[in-house]
Amino acid sequence: MSARSNTRKFIITMTDGVDGSSSNNEQDVITLAKSKSIPVYTVGFGSGSDTTTLKNIATESNASFFNVKSSDISNVFQGIQTNITYQYKATISNAVTTGDTLQLSINYNGETTTRNIQK
């Protein structure tokens, strides 16, 4: 395998969500993920999972949270794979300031979708 400079990175974590011994807290994880622009997909397993923390980590890192039962695991990971496979990154070269709204339109095979993004 050759190294590619444009390879996207993702973290997928499956946990009961209960922190038993980590020296890092929720905000540490969010700060690091944001600083590296790495989405953290969180999968909570079990009835005792800390869904609030897991949702927050996923949301703040531009990913998704899933709470699963054992019978749903395959579908959840298939959904994450689909999300990652069909994800695109757009980069703009103009300076954007807080409060600006950008309109992104994509046309593919005659189908157009538009989304407004506010910074």
pLDDT of residue 95: 78
| Integer-rounded Cα radius of gyration of the chain | 17
27 confidence band (pLDDT: 50, 70, 90)? very high
Residue 55 has pLDDT above 80, yes or no: yes
Domains delineated in the chain: 11-89 (3.40.50.410)
17 confidence band (pLDDT: 50, 70, 90)? low
Specify the residue for token string 């973290």: 11
Helices (H), the chain: 26-36, 51-60, 73-85
Tokens of 8: 């996207």
- Residue 19: partners with Cβ closer than 8 Å, 6 or more residues away: 25, 50, 53
Span 23-28, average pLDDT: 91
56 confidence band (pLDDT: 50, 70, 90)? very high
What is the pTM for the complete model shown? 0.68
Which residues partner with 103 through β-bridges?
116
Q: What percentage of residues in the chain have a pLDDT greater than 70?
A: 93
- Length of the chain, in residues: 119
